[in-house]
Every structure is written in C-alpha cells, then in structure tokens.
C-alpha cells in the first residue's frame, strides 16, 4: 500500500527525477494518510518519530504497531489443519512414528531444502526413527525427486518418503514411488500445477485449492507447521507425552530458511525470523555455530547475516560441491565434524565467488551488447557452455540487479540440454511464466516462485524460451518498470547517524522481501575519498557541510554505474541514498551506510 501511495506523489524527493541508476526518488510517506499514521503512533505509543515514519511507510496502522514491533508466535500461529491435506499428512507421519518405520527425506539443494530436511529428520530421529536424508546432486540429478533416487530409497528399506521443498510437480517420480510400494508425503511451497502428482498427502499452501492464506511460507515454515500438528497428535499417545521435542529450539532453522529463501517477511514469517535469531544467538545448534565461526561473525547474528553470510555458505555445497553438506552440517551433533564441514563450505563459497565473478562479467558484457541493439527487451536471457550450473542463479540475480528487469542465465550442458535459473522484479511472476513454458513444451521441466524460478530445456533452444518469456511477461514488466522508483524514508546528516539511531530504526525489522530495509538520504555530502575493495565493492567516506563524516560502502558496484559515479565524484558534493547499519570492530561501534543510489544536483 505505502509503495503505491508514495509513487503517486507529484514531486520527487529532493527533486531527484533521474539518479545515476536512472530512478526517481520518492518519499515513502508522502501520502497524508501515512503521515497521519506516523503522528498517531508518536502520540499514542510514544514511538520515536523516525521509527513511526518507518512503520507507517510500510502500511502499519497505529493499532497494529505494538504487535508488529514484537511479533509473537502464539499470536500469529494458525491451526496447521487449515492447510489442505495436513490432517492426512499428520496421521501418516504419526503412524510412522508409532510403528517405527524407516523414513526417507528428500530435500532440495538450497538453504530452504537443507533446513527443511534437517528440521524434519532431527524431529523424527529424536523419537527413535531411522531417517535417511537424500539431497540430489544439482548436475547429475537436478531439482526435485527422480525415479532412480526414489527406487534406491525404497530398496534401502524406506516405507515412507517425505519430500521437502520439492515434489509438487514430480509426477513421474511419485508415480514410480507408488509402483514400488513407497508412501509419499509432500511438504512444499512452490507454485503448483492444476493436476497434482499422486501422493498420500500433498501439503502446499500454494496449491490452487488451498485457502489457508499461508502462501508466503517457505518450505521450512510448512515443515514446522506439520511438526506442530504432529506434536499435537502424538500427545494423545501416553508413551510420547514426555518425549516430544521442544519445537521452539528448531526455530533457528525456520528463521534461516525464511530469510535465505527470500519469502515475504510478513505475518508468521516475521515471528519465525525474530524468534529464530534468538535461538541462533544461543549457539545451541553445533553446525550453525561452526558456520558462524567460519564466516568470522563475532557479533550476534542479524537477519542480513543470514542472507549474506550464512545462506551463501550453505548454498555453496549445492552449487559447486557436495549438495548434502548443508543438511549434514545442520543435523550433526559432533563438534569436530561440524567444524570440518563449515570450513569446507567456507572454502567452496570462496571458490564460488571466483567462478561467479568471471561468469557475471561475461554475462553483463553479453547483455550490454543485446540491449544496445534492443534497449526495451523485457526479459534478459544469457547462456554459455562455460558456466557452472551451480552459479546460473547468481548470474541471473546480478543481471536483474544491474539492468532492472527479469533475467535468466543458462548453463549449456554436453548432453544438449540447458539448465537455467531466473530472477524477477516485483510485479512480474517468473514462476508462472516458467510453468506455462513447461505446459507449452518449450521447457522440459521447471517451476518456482514469482521472484525466482528454475528450468531445464530439452535442447539448447534458449532463443525459443526467451521468446516465450517475452510474450508472457512483456506487459507486466513494462508496467513494473514504469513505476520503478527508489522509495526514501527520510533525510539526515552524517552527524546524526549514530549506532543508537540505527538500533531504533531496526526495531521495525527484520527487513527483507515485502519488508524493505529503510532507505535514507544524506543530502549534499562530499565524497572525501573512495576506493575499490574486496570483490568489486566500493568503499567511501562522506562528509557533511558541518564537518561530520560517515563511512559508506556500495557492494558489488565497482564496474557498474553506481560504483563508477562514486569513484569519479571524489571531492564533489552529491546526494547519497542508502541503508544504515552498525559496524563493530574491536568492541567499538560505529554507524555506516550501505549506498544504494547517488544523485547530482544543480
């Protein structure tokens, strides 16, 4: 709501209609109704004015402020049985526990898949079940269950297969499971086709017939609700009353997956992250503690750490190494094994960064040329035989960030197929477009969310796939790009940016998808120095007219227009926009800005 209202504002913030990234700047709270919300929050709830503006700018009404600032699980937790098939799934899982069945858990190779598999397996193992986790190899098996793996799990003795973060579109594998006498329960959240595969139960809030309103959950969130239902069911069995795990201790996994899978941080998801961070800070999960140490994180983890430090390291195993490393790390109780796996994931992540940098440079060059020929292309599609399939999603993300439109990147494989991953912009549903490509025969298999999707092409017909996406998405992409703007929460001076101020702002967090981190402008600040650091970041120092200074950094910007503008503007006064954070070094705190845009003025 707030975004639309702000975009209707007749005047640009600080009169910036065209920044170095080509965007107008708009006041997120320009609408008088939002300003009234903020004023009421200040008066009725004694909130700091800046915090009240941040909340109002995200559509929070005064009556909702207190609950929003302190999201509690007990207030937001739905009855799990509101999900279609949940009751059936619960009974099937309860039967497995009561009879001691051997269970196989089939997950995805990303953070959500690893966390979901670890969450479910940990619960069942605590009740004495033998549980085998299978995470598919990205290159040899691809996404989701496959016939060979399903048959192998049955031969190993499993009588129940539970797929997590996958399975909703797995018709052939689930048919194979039924043929060999393997019961299947699907716990997923991906977009669902009209015709579902055979399963004893398929729990997915994004089923077309599911009216729960929980489609914003990640897979780990769906698994958690399933375990809540299973706990409730098993309490009816006298022998389990005193043996049931404390599910609150597993919220670290749910919070991690919620942030890393970039699902909307609204409602229950906010509570998952808030409570999950509390659990994580206690360092009770040996694997996560080891990974935090490997990432050299010395301060209490925040939501952004999960997305930028923890998540990429877990994902590195599935991208270019052993896909099972993440799930193994999150389930191990052996400190030595945890330290070894964490170190390996850290090493793989550094290797991934090198591979990614080379591929992104090539992809950006290819797209620069393509856009010089047709500047209005609604969807970008790049492909190469040199790209590792594990980094195509990262390439697509960088292209989307750089060019402001949906992007797909493909690894062309020796067998003639093409494996691709895409990232989208708000307003363009990439998952739906991919599903229509599968239905039309343009793609062999694929699926995903509105903002991210994966696909396999039966041959290297990347042009045909691009044409299909263009036909499906051109109108919505044009509409989305027409209203694109940087929404600003306020302006301040370097001298006013303190660690205490940043903590006040972050009371409105956690921030992420659908809950954007507040953006502030430092007007007329001089860039006193700037340099390229790390892997293409630009670090700068900004000084206000009264002599106060603040450190700032623009991540992954050195070769782009933002980084180049910063580097070429040393000694010049500019308007700088960005988000605020606190950097802790040797016990000392200092506020800093993460630059997201820059503008000149007359």
Domains of the chain with bracketed CATH? 2-27+486-599 (2.40.50.140), 75-347 (3.90.1640.30), 374-482 (3.10.310.30)
> Smallest Cα–Cα separation from 96: which of 125, 129, 118, 121?
129
Q: How far apart are CA 539 and CA 91, in angstroms?
A: 56
Residues linked to residue 515 through DSSP beta bridges, in sequence order: 512
Helix (H) / strand (E) containing 286: helix 286-294
Axis-axis angle for helices 286-294, 311-320 (nearest 10):
90
9 has pLDDT over 60: no
Q: What is the pLDDT of residues 81-97, one digit of tens each?
A: 999 999 999 999 999 99
Q: Are 551 and 592 in contact (CB under 8 A)?
A: yes
User: Which tops the pLDDT comparison, 357 or 543?
Assistant: 543
Question: According to the model, what pLDDT value does residue 4 have?
Answer: 39
Element (H, E) at 499: helix 499-505
Is a pLDDT exceeding 80 seen at residue 428? Answer: yes
In this prediction, residue 3 carries a pLDDT of 39
DSSP state of 512: B
Q: Indicate the pTM of the whole model.
A: 0.91
Q: What is the pLDDT of residue 6?
A: 39
Across the range 25-43, mean pLDDT stands at 96
State yes or no: cis peptide before 387, omega within 30 of 0.
Answer: no
Averaged pLDDT, 236-252: 94
Alpha carbons within 13 A on the beta-carbon side of 181: 6
**By the 8 A CB rule, do 510 and 259 touch?**
yes
Upper half-sphere CA count for residue 1 (Cβ side, 13 Å): 10
pLDDT (average), residues 572-592: 90
Q: Cα-flanking dihedrals φ and ψ of residue 187, to 5°?
A: -120, 105
598 and 20 in contact (C-beta within 8 Å)?
A: yes
Whole-number pLDDT of residue 587: 74
What's the pLDDT score for residue 441? 92
Banded pLDDT at 586 (limits 50, 70, 90): confident
Distance of alpha carbon 239 from the chain centroid: 39
Report how far residue 270's alpha carbon sits from residue 69's, in angstroms, rounded to the nearest whole number: 10
Under the banding of pLDDT at 50, 70 and 90, the label for residue 513 is confident
Rg of the chain in Å (alpha carbons): 24
CA 571 vs CA 204, 219, 457: distances in Å: 55, 49, 51
Q: Token pair for residue 160? A: 């129940």
Run of H or E residues at 147: helix 147-155
Task: Tell me: cis bond preceding 401? Omega within 30 of 0 counts.
Answer: no
Determine if residue 338 is left, alpha or beta; phi over 0 gives left, psi from -120 to 50 gives alpha, anything else beta.
alpha
Question: Which residue from 285, 310, 281 is spatially nearest to 295, judged by alpha carbons?
Answer: 310
Task: Report d(CA 245, CA 252) in Å as an integer.
Answer: 14
Q: What angle do CA 72, 78, 84 make, to 5 degrees?
A: 155
Provide the 3-class DSSP secondary structure of residue 16.
coil
Query: Strand pairing partners for 444?
Result: none
> Quick one: pLDDT at residue 8?
45
Tell me the C-alpha distance between 219 and 168, whole Å.
12
Torsion over CA: 40, 44, 49, 51 (sign): negative
Distance from C-alpha of 123 to C-alpha of 130, rounded to nearest angstrom: 11
pLDDT in tens, 96-111: 999 999 999 999 999 9
H-helix or E-strand containing 373?
A: helix 335-373
What pLDDT, on the 0 to 100 scale, is given for residue 282? 97
Which DSSP symbol is given to 249? G
pLDDT at 417: 87
Grade residue 5 by pLDDT with cuts at 50, 70 and 90. very low
Q: Please give the Cα distance from 8 to 311 (Å, whole number).
A: 36
Cα gap 429→265, rounded to integer Å: 18
Q: Residue 331: its pLDDT value, please?
A: 97
Residue owning tokens 């790009």: 481
How far apart, in Å, do the first and last CA atoms of the chain sit?
Answer: 33
Q: Which DSSP state fits 197?
A: P
Give the per-residue pLDDT at 393.
Answer: 94
pLDDT band at residue 55 using 50, 70 and 90 as cut-offs: very high
Nearest to 424 by CA among 403, 448, 407: 407
- Residue 134 pairs in a beta bridge with 106
Residue 340's CB is within 10 A of a number of other CB atoms, namely: 14
Beta strand 452-457 with 418-423 is antiparallel
Contact 330, 288 (CB under 8 A): yes
| Three-class secondary structure assignment of 429-473 | CHHHHHHHHHHCCCCCEEEECCCEEEEEECCCCHHHHHHHHHHHH
On the question of pLDDT at 507 being above 60, the answer is: yes
pLDDT reading at 1 higher than 70 = no
Q: What is the overall mean pLDDT for the chain? A: 94
CA 293 – CA 296 distance, rounded (Å) = 5
Contacts of 306 (CB under 8 A, 6+ apart): 255, 256, 259, 260
Rounded-to-integer distance, Cα 136 and Cα 322, Å? 9
Q: How confident is the model at residue 485 (pLDDT cuts 50, 70, 90)?
A: very high
* pLDDT band per the 50, 70, 90 thresholds, residue 583: confident
241 pLDDT more than 50: yes
The answer to whether the CB of 182 falls within 8 A of the CB of 161 is yes
- pLDDT for the residue numbered 50: 94
C-alpha closest to that of 109 among 84, 83, 146:
146
- Across residues 559-576, what is the average pLDDT? 96
pLDDT score recorded for residue 139? 85
- How many angstroms separate the CA atoms of 142 and 109, rounded? 9
Q: Which residue has the higher pLDDT, 280 or 2?
A: 280
With b for 16 or more beta-carbon neighbours within 10 A and e for fewer, the 232-256 pattern comes to ebbeeeeebeeebeebeebbbbbbb
The three-class DSSP label of residue 269 is: helix
> Is the torsion defined by CA of 202, 196, 135, 278 positive or negative?
negative
Is the predicted pLDDT of residue 144 greater than 80, yes or no?
A: yes
Q: Nearest CA to 203 among 262, 232, 247, 163?
A: 163
């Amino acid at each position: 709501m707030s975004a639309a209202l702000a975009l209707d504002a007749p005047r640009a913030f600080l009169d910036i209609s065209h920044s170095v990234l080509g965007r107008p700047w708009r006041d997120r709270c320009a609408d008088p109704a939002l300003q009234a919300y903020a004023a009421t929050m200040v008066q009725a709830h004694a909130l700091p004015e800046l915090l009240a503006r941040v909340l109002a700018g995200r559509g929070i009404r005064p009556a909702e402020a207190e609950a929003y600032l302190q999201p509690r699980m007990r207030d937001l937790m739905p009855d799990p049985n509101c999900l279609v098939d949940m009751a059936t799934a619960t009974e099937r899982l309860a039967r497995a526990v009561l009879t001691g069945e051997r269970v196989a858990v089939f997950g995805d190779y990303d953070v959500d898949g690893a966390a979901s598999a670890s969450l479910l397996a940990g619960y069942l193992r605590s009740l004495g079940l033998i549980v085998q986790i299978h995470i598919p190899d990205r290159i040899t098996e691809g996404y989701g269950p496959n016939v060979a793996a399903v048959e192998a799990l049955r031969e190993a003795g499993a009588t129940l297969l539970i797929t997590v973060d996958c399975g909703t579109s797995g018709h052939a594998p689930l048919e194979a499971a039924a043929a060999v006498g393997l019961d299947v329960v699907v716990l997923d959240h991906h977009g669902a086709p009209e015709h579902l595969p055979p399963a004893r139960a398929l729990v997915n809030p994004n089923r077309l017939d599911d009216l729960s309103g929980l489609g914003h959950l990640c897979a780990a969130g769906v698994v958690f609700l399933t375990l809540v239902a299973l706990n409730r069911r098993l309490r009816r069995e006298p022998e389990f009353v005193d043996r049931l795990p404390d599910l609150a201790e597993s919220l670290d996994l749910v919070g991690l997956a919620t942030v890393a899978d970039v699902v909307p941080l609204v409602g229950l998801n906010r509570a998952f992250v808030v409570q999950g961070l509390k659990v994580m800070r206690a360092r009770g999960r040996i694997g996560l503690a080891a990974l935090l140490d490997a990432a050299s994180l010395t301060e209490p983890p925040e939501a952004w750490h999960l997305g930028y430090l923890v998540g990429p390291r877990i994902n590195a195993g599935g991208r270019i190494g052993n896909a099972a490393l993440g799930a193994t790390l999150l389930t191990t109780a052996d400190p030595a094994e945890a330290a070894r796996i964490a170190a390996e994931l850290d090493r793989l992540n550094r290797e991934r960064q090198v591979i990614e940098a080379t591929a992104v440079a090539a992809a950006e060059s290819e797209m620069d040329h393509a856009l010089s020929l047709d500047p209005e292309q609604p969807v970008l599609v790049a492909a190469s035989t040199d790209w590792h399939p594990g980094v195509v999603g990262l390439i697509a993300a960088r292209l989307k960030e750089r060019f402001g439109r949906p992007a797909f990147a493909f690894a062309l494989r020796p067998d003639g197929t093409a494996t691709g991953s895409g990232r989208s912009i708000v307003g363009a549903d990439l998952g739906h477009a991919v599903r229509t490509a599968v239905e039309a025969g343009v793609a062999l298999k694929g699926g995903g969310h509105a903002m991210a999707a994966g696909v396999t092409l039966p041959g290297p017909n990347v042009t045909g796939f691009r044409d299909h996406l263009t036909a499906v998405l051109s109108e919505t992409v044009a509409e989305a790009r027409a209203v694109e703007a940087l929404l600003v929460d306020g302006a301040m001076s370097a001298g006013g940016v303190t660690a205490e101020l940043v903590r006040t702002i972050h009371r409105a967090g956690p921030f992420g998808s659908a809950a954007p981190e507040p953006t502030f402008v430092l007007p007329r600040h001089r860039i006193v120095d700037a340099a390229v650091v790390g892997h293409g970041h630009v670090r700068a120092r900004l000084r206000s007219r009264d002599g106060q200074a603040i450190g700032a950094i623009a991540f992954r910007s050195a070769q782009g227009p933002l980084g180049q503008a910063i580097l070429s503007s040393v000694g010049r006064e500019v308007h700088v926009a960005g988000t605020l954070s606190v950097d802790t070094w040797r016990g000392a705190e200092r506020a800093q800005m993460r630059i997201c845009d820059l503008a000149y003025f007359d």
